[in-house]
Amino acid sequence: MRATVATPDETTRKPPRVSSRRLTERVFRIRESGIIVVLVLFVAVTVSIQPRFASQQELHFILANTTVFALLALGQTMVVVSRNVDLSVGSVVGLSAYLSASLFGKVHGIPIVVVFLVGLAIGLAVGVANGLMVAIGRVPSLVVTLATLYIVRGIDILIVGGNEVVAQTLPNAFIQIPRAGVYGVPYLAIAVAVVVGLGAYYLRSYRSGRELYAIGSNPEAARLAGIHVGRRVFTAFTVSGAIAGVAGVLWAAQYQTVDSNAGTGYELTVIASVVVGGVAIFGGSGSAVGAAIGALLLQTINSALYVLGISPFWDQAIAGLLLLVAITLDRVISLRLSAALRRRSSGVGT
C-alpha cells in the first residue's frame, strides 16, 4: 500500500486524480473480494480434509440454508446502510412461518401464492410499525426494533402455544420450493441471487437507493440536502419487514416443522452476515451482494464444521471472530484511506 501511495508529490503539483480514484476503487474492490477469498480458502481447506464436502448434496444444503439469510441480508443492508438496524426480523420470520404454514391445515387447498401474501402482509405490518416509530417518532431503531423483537415473539408464543405445524399438513408443491434445482443448485437460490442482485443494483443506481447511503453517511447533511430522510428510512424498514415476512414462509417450506422458536436469533446472524459482507455498521457504505456473500460464508462455515465433525460451538466462535476481523478491517481501511487521501489532497507541506 505504502509504495503506491507515496507518489512524489513535490515534483508534480498536478492533482493526482487518477491515482486517488484507483486507490478508492481498489479499496472498494477489496471489500467484496476479501470475503470471496476467505470463502474460497475455507471451502478448499475443508475439501482437502474431507472430500465429501465437495458434493452436490452439500452444495444444495448450504445454498438452501443461505437463501433465507441472503434475503434477510438484503433487507438488513437497506436498513444498516441508512445508519439503522432491524432486530425484529428473526421474530417476524417466526410469526410469519407459523401463521402462513398453519393456513394449509386450516384452509383446505389454499393457493400457495395466498400463503406467501399472508407472510408478506405480516412482515409489512411489522415493518410499517418499525418504520413509523423510527421515522416519525424519532426513536432510535435499536430500541424500536428490540421492542418489536419481543412483542412479535410474544404474539408468536401466544398464538402458537405448545402447538407446531408439522410436515404432513404441508402440500408437496410447497415443500418442493426450496428443494427443486439443477446440479445441486436450488432454483430458489438462483431466484434469491437475482433478487439480491436487483436490490443491490437499486441501491447503487437509483436516486432513492443512493439517498439511503447519504442518510447513513451523514444524516444532518442529508436533511440539509433536502432528502426526505423520514420517508426513505420508513421505506427501508418496510422493505426489510416485508422481506422477513416472505423469508418466514420460505423458512416453513425449508424446515417444515414450525414451532414458536422458529427464527429465534436470526437477527444476529443476519447482522453478522451483513457486517462480514462489508456493510459498515454505522451506515454509508457496503453492498447487498457483499451482505449476501457474507450470509453464504457463515452458512458454509456452519456446514463445513459439521462435515469435519467439529463441535458446533466453534461455529459461533468463528462467526464472532469473522465479525471482529470484518469490523477491524473496516476500521483500518477507513483510517488508512482517509489518511492517504488527506496526504495527497494536502499535497505539499502539512
Give the residues lining the site for another protein (CB under 8 A).
14-17, 20-21, 24, 205-207, 210-211, 213-214, 216-218, 220-227, 280, 283-285, 334, 337-342, 345-346, 349-350
Structural contact between residues 5 and 340, judged by C-beta atoms closer than 8 angstroms: yes
CB atoms within 10 A of CB 259: 17
Closer residue to another protein (CB): 30 or 128: 30
Rounded to a whole number of angstroms, the minimum distance from the CB of residue 202 to another protein is 9
Rounded to a whole number of angstroms, the minimum distance from the CB of residue 195 to another protein is 18
Closer residue to another protein (CB): 10 or 220: 220
Closer residue to another protein (CB): 131 or 283: 283
Helix axes 56-81, 229-255, angle to 10 degrees: 160
Nearest to 62 by CA among 284, 293, 291: 293
The continuous run of DSSP H or E covering 182 comes out as: strand 181-182
Closer residue to another protein (CB): 153 or 344: 344
Closer residue to another protein (CB): 44 or 221: 221
**268, burial (CB in 10 Å: exposed 0-12, middle 13-18, buried 19+):** middle
Report the amino acid identity of residue 57. Answer: Q
Rounded to a whole number of angstroms, the minimum distance from the CB of residue 297 to another protein is 23
Closer residue to another protein (CB): 285 or 316: 285
Cα–Cα distance, 279 to 180 (Å, whole number): 31
Rounded to a whole number of angstroms, the minimum distance from the CB of residue 208 to another protein is 9
Rounded to a whole number of angstroms, the minimum distance from the CB of residue 250 to another protein is 29
Residue 185 per-residue DSSP state: E
**Cell numbers that stand for 224 in this block:** 440539509
Rounded to a whole number of angstroms, the minimum distance from the CB of residue 178 to another protein is 31
For 20-31, b where at least 16 C-beta lie within 10 A, e where not — what string?
A: beebeeeebeeb
